[in-house]
A and B are shown apart, each in its own frame.
Chain A
Amino acid sequence: MKKGEVSNQKTGVWQASLFVLALILLAAGLVFSVMAAITFGNADISLKDVYSVVGCEVLKMKRFSGFSEGSVHDVVWLIRFPRVVLALAVGMGLSVCGVVMQAIVKNPLADPYILGVSSGASLGATLAILLRIGSIFGGNFVGVMAFVGAMITSFMVMAIANMGGRANAGKLILAGTAVSSVCSAFSSFIIFMVNDNNATAEVMRWTMGSLSGADWSRAAVIFPVVLASTLIFWTQYRSLNLMLLGDEVSITLGTNLHKSRTAYLILSSVIVGAAVYAAGMIGFVGLVIPHVIRILFGTDHKRLIPLSALLGSIFLIWADVASRIILKNAEMPIGILVSLIGAPCFIYLLVKRSYGFGGGRS
């Protein structure tokens, strides 16, 4: 028995330090990714110039004051940098949303895209762009409408899935697909009726997903929103863990999840709204990233949330780099690229039935 105890304590410590190590490595990886990603682009700018601009703008070093304006400065600081920051925020947001939605519906197949929340956000944005609905919300009204759309759809999907008995994975995914189709149909209908080429092009950009419209004014709103929401969700790790055990067990463990579930849905709608506003529809990130982290580090949300956030941002930064350089002289929409990777992973998860589809015991 004694021997067992010692080895148990050791594995506990080992796991904890493994988590800290992973956290540090991923954080370092994120910094590296940001610094590397800004060197890629159509304009041919030397590494030295790129980092001189960074030195000037980020570190405020006098030595590089020559780079505080001009075309090199504009390309690096006004085009590339905000874009990388947005990619970071969107990747983080979608991954964390995936984790939270999976906890809410108690199934690892949930994701903002699959549950139709992204489509809802997209419909909200379409209404805003084409019909100027919601312009009373001020300058960022497209983003606000995306949030409203995301929130309405997430509550709608939950309500439909809960009709006539408790929600299970199958019902949720069907409800998500149905709501998503309705939203897409409405978006298409509006695009068809308005018949305005510029606006249609803009909406297309949304539905395929792209970060090409990035600028600091957007990044400055979206990055803090996503970061703050992620940190809030991290503090909620205990409730998120309990959520997976179900409502009854949670009550016997001292937490009534009814209110927190609603709060989490609203907060994740904020994130999805922000992500869709920044980059349009990008699917499957929230599905694949948490899955990878779960395989490596288990289900505990104390580890799952920060690690998914970091891995998700790194993943999306590089996906965006790839979408910029895969085609010569043109950009591939990042949504298409990510779906090409993500959809097969989704199918794999569906087929590997043991991973919690439905109620059977694995």
Chain B
Amino acid sequence: MNILSEDIRLSYDSAEILKGASVRAADREFVGLIGPNGSGKSTLLKCIYRVLRPDVGCVYLDGEPLSGLSYKESARRMAVVAQHNYYNFDFSVREVVLMGRSPHKRAMERDNARDYAIVEEALKKVGMLAFADRNFSTLSGGEQQRVILARALAQQTPCLILDEPTNHLDITHQLQLLRIVKALDITVIAAIHDLNMAAMFCDRIYVLQEGQIVGQGAPGEVLTREMIQKIYHVNSETVKDSRGRTHILFI
């Protein structure tokens, strides 16, 4: 499945947050979105996953405009892992993941054995099966984030949106989460703060600054000293390791 966001513009009050951002992710491509705080990464992603409606511009899934799809339909094509997941109520891990099946259900339809099998499978994939009957709110941040990823997996979508999913996670869990996502081999658009993580996992990177796309391309092409100086105002050096991957050293 490919995703295309075309000339997205959005303003809060008088402040223009997005000034015509166009992003494209080809089938099974892992696309990264980088940029400083307040550059509009989350806002752009929210337009893509329908929580915000852009003033101008349109998002297309496989060429179909998003606004023409029902919410159920779009949730069957695109799952989301975002940053904040705080619940006032006590759900078990299994119940949280089972909610990922809801876009596939009609109003009165019951959860069947297949749904439960999908939930188990998703939990197994993120290594949380042993926690299935634990209370979600008693889990650590990293465990909660993996459960939310399992919920997205249970949606069985050909596309996944990640909105800074690795914030608050330690390096083990950052790598683990992104590796799981990478191994899914589906279309991914991810906002990532850590440039080295972005370099490691993304096929292509878009650079967002003040609501505009100011650069795009393969990690090696985009993550240059000049670009990092321009966007983040910090000095850096980039090196390539033996496998040809780009690494950024901040000076």
Contacts and interface: CB of A to CB of B under 8 A. Distances in A.
Interface stretch (B88-96, B180-188, B206-214): B88-96
B86 interface: yes
B155 A298 contact: no
Nearest to B88: A356
B99 interface: yes
Contact of A4 (B99, B130, B155): B130
B75 A299 contact: no
B51 interface: yes
A361 B86 CA distance: 7
A234 to B, nearest CB: 10
Nearest to B90: A299
B44 to A, nearest CB: 15
Interface in B29-68: 46, 49-51
A108 interface: yes
Interface in A221-254: 235-236, 238, 241-242, 244-245, 247-249, 251-254
Contacts of B73: 254
Interface string A240-284: 011011011101111110000000000000000000000000000
B51 A248 contact: yes
Nearest to B116: A12
Interface in B82-114: 82, 85-92, 94-95, 99-100, 102-103, 105, 107-108
Contacts of A11: 132-133
Q: Which of B70, B78, B86 has its CB near the most chain A CB atoms (within 10 A)?
A: B86
A9 B133 CA distance: 10
Contacts of B71: 251, 254-256
Interface residues of A, number: 35
B137 interface: yes
A294 B91 CA distance: 10
B248 interface: no
A6 to B, nearest CB: 11
Contacts of B3: none
B108 A253 contact: no
B91 A254 contact: no
B120 A5 contact: yes
Interface in A101-122: 106-108
Contacts of A356: 88-89
B74 interface: yes
Interface string A79-102: 000000000000000000000000
Interface in A301-333: none
Contacts of B72: 254-255
Given A8-B133, A235-B107, A362-B137, A254 B76 contact: yes
A5 B103 CA distance: 26
Contacts of A247: 51
A108 B88 contact: yes
Contacts of B90: 294, 298-299
A8 B155 contact: no
B17 interface: no
A351 interface: no
B121 to A, nearest CB: 11
Contact of B88 (A107, A242, A254, A298): A107
B80 A252 contact: yes
A256 B75 CA distance: 11
A359 interface: yes
A1 interface: yes
A110 B150 CA distance: 31
Contacts of B82: 248-249, 252
A238 B105 contact: yes
Nearest to A235: B108
A74 interface: no
Given A8-B120, A300-B95, A1 B75 contact: no
B132 A8 contact: yes
Given A254-B102, A299-B89, A12 B94 contact: yes
Interface string A349-362: 00000001001011
A255 B76 CA distance: 11
A327 B88 CA distance: 41
A150 B86 CA distance: 31
5 tightest CB-CB pairs across the interface, nearest first? A254-B75, A254-B103, A356-B88, A252-B80, A254-B72
6 contacts: A8-B133, A11-B133, A238-B105, A248-B51, A254-B70, A356-B89
Given A241-B99, A244-B91, 8 more contacts: A107-B88, A248-B82, A252-B75, A253-B100, A294-B90, A298-B90, A299-B91, A361-B137
Interface of B: 46, 49-51, 70-76, 78-80, 82, 85-92, 94-95, 99-100, 102-103, 105, 107-108, 116, 120, 129-130, 132-133, 137, 155
